[in-house]
Structure 1
Amino acid sequence: MTPIQEKLTPPWKEAWQSFYKNKLAVIGLGIVIFFIVIALVSPWIAPYSFKDQIMAERMQAPSSKHWFGTDDFGRDIFSRVLYGARISLWVGFFSVLGSVVVGTTLGIVAGYYGRFVDTLISRIFDIMLAFPSILLAIAVVAILGPSLQNALIAIAVINIPNFGRLVRSRVLSVKQEEYIMAAKAVGMLDARILLRHILPNSISPVIVQATLAIATAIIEAAALGFLGLGATAPTPEWGKMLADSKNYITNAPWTLFFPGMAIMLTVLGFNLMGDGLRDVLDPKMKQ
């Protein structure tokens, strides 16, 4: 490829080529796509309904009839793991989406306007970060009441400071650039500067952080479910499945192994993909 052709390469294509060279990142992307597909098609490929109870077949080991075995209510674990992918990914995506929207907005406002606004928002972030994330999530769910939707809200709330501080630091750097000063000099409105210039040039680290945060959100949702503060029966949430099976770890280990393996693989996929995106989008990581 000639130097001229290299200059004409679209940025997205160059980014994909860099991402594709990272084999671990590609593996992570493959794992994520696999679970997304599973979540979308689970109603059609699951051999049983996630709530079908066959007491005569309770606590059966994995077999050709029940690939992952059955639980203490005779429910097919394979079907419940498939349906559980929908719930875990739904919580992960939408909790992080809420965190990104609110955190990015607060971070941009704090970094751009500074002074009292920056001090107030930054102190709120500091107070929230002073609590261990899981304890803050438990407190939020305790106030709102145990449910899957409230667990989603709690996970979104505890991740807001992470995105807010990340965006604020980026905005503090970007707003000193000459093109921002030029936009102010010609009388461009603040809202337009924020949307046209500040936000696009601050979004790259947010994408990376969001990818990694989805993995964290899935673990936090599983932790809340395990503590009985998330999904309620018979919802096949992976953390809730672990909680329901903890008393059978010695005589029926398959009831914990498969939901735990699903959590592990999903989180691994998002982490590998997030590391690959960081290498592509972070200028400091480029040679």
Structure 2
Amino acid sequence: MQTDNVQPPVTNLPEAGAVSHSAQPDNPAQDFVRAFFRHRSAVIGSVLVLIFIILAILAPVITPYDYTEPSADALAAPSAEHWFGTDDLGRDIFTRIVYGSRISLWVGFISIAGSIVVGSLLGLLAGYYGKWQDTLISRLFDIMLAFPSILLAIAIVAMLGPGLNNALIAIAIINIPTFGRLMRSRVLSVKAEDFVLAARAIGMKNSRILWHHILPNCWTPIMVQGTLSFATAVIEVAALGFLGLGAQPPDPEWGTMLSDARDYLQLAPWTMVFPGVAIMITVLGFNLLGDGLRDIFDPRMKQ
């Protein structure tokens, strides 16, 4: 009897070296971008921050007025010519707010960057080496945190003298303990991990362990806290400017503008409303952005 040759079904097998799409490792950058744009607060906050960054960069193009030049239109109400009105010297308030964004963003960035560098370094040393280094640095942080931050900033500026640069230094100093304690707690957790213990077991130097193993695993909470502290720095520089300890006239700093306009609250309320709204929106933008980054990087939120 003749039987038919039955051929086995042909299956499409992947070629050697080919990796299926499901087996490909996730790209952390792409995962972050997707999570970021899915987080509504982070997107709204980044848009608000981006608006003020654009205003700061394109200030000479956006407005035709000089923020220091007075005019005869003192305390003019908002109009098509002066969108936000004018102050008691006839200066365009919109122009001064746009140029004031440069001061607020610059002071916030430089002061928080300095706080991150100094605070992270101290926290790194305290958390990794412990013993007397940890005791000394931790007690220093405790002493600084015992004072209200704005009062400590006022005391520092009072010793250094009024001025924007001294206000920047004061804001940087009062934020050092925040980043120092955060870095210390993170280092205490990371240095107990197996990969750090293995690096010690093979005789790796402490400096290499710190810079190549511990520090890269501690930056996420520092970055999130830096974004939130940026908002606090904007408020602090405005508070120092309002008290006459920050930027000095004719610099268009928002807190200084509020201080100059407080005598005209009933006569020309727009002189205080618009600088106050600028501070509020900037702080809101950085807070929303910081909260969004915290939720994105927090493993407990990745459900």
TM-score, structure 1 length as denominator?
0.97
Aligned pair 1:41/2:55, yes or no? no
> Quick one: which amino acid aligns to residue 202 of structure 1?
C
Q: Which of the two has greater helix per residue? A: 1
- Off by >4 Å, runs of 4+ in structure 1: none
> Quick one: which amino acid aligns to residue 37 of structure 2?
Y
Aligned pair 1:51/2:51, yes or no? no
> Quick one: which amino acid aligns to residue 225 of structure 1?
G
Aligned pair 1:150/2:202, yes or no? no
Alignment of 1:77-226 (within 5 A): 77-226=93-242
Shift of 1:185: 1.4
Pair 24,3 (structure 1): closer, same or farther in 2 beyond 3 Å: farther
Q: CA RMSD in A?
A: 1.3
Q: Which residue of 1 aligns with 2:76?
A: 60
Pair 3,134 (structure 1): closer, same or farther in 2 beyond 3 Å: farther
> Quick one: which amino acid aligns to residue 137 of structure 1?
A
Deviations 1:58-102 (A, max 9, x none): 010011111110000111101000000000000111110000000
Q: From 250, 257, 277, give the equivalent of 1:241.
A: 257
> Quick one: which amino acid aligns to residue 31 of structure 2?
E
What secondary structure is seen at the aligned counterpart in 2 of 1:280?
A: helix
Whether the 8 Å CA contact 1:107–1:167 is kept in 2: the answer is: yes
Deviations 1:230-284 (A, max 9, x none): 0000000000000000111111000011111110001100000101100111223
Shift of 1:191: 1.1
Shift of 1:46: 1.7
> Quick one: which amino acid aligns to residue 236 of structure 2?
E
* Partner Cα distance (2:43, 2:153) in 1: 32
Pair 68,3 (structure 1): closer, same or farther in 2 beyond 3 Å: farther
Q: Which residue of 1 aligns with 2:8?
A: none
* Partner Cα distance (1:63, 1:47) in 2: 15
* Partner Cα distance (1:281, 1:53) in 2: 49
Q: Which residue of 1 aligns with 2:44?
A: 27
Deviations 1:25-51 (A, max 9, x none): 101111111111110110221220110
TM-score, structure 2 length as denominator?
0.92
Report which of the two structures shows the higher radius of gyration computed on alpha carbons. Answer: 2
| Structure 1 unaligned residues grouped into runs of 5+ | none
> Quick one: which amino acid aligns to residue 179 of structure 1?
F
Q: State percent identity of aligned pairs.
A: 61
| Structure 2 unaligned residues grouped into runs of 5+ | 1-18
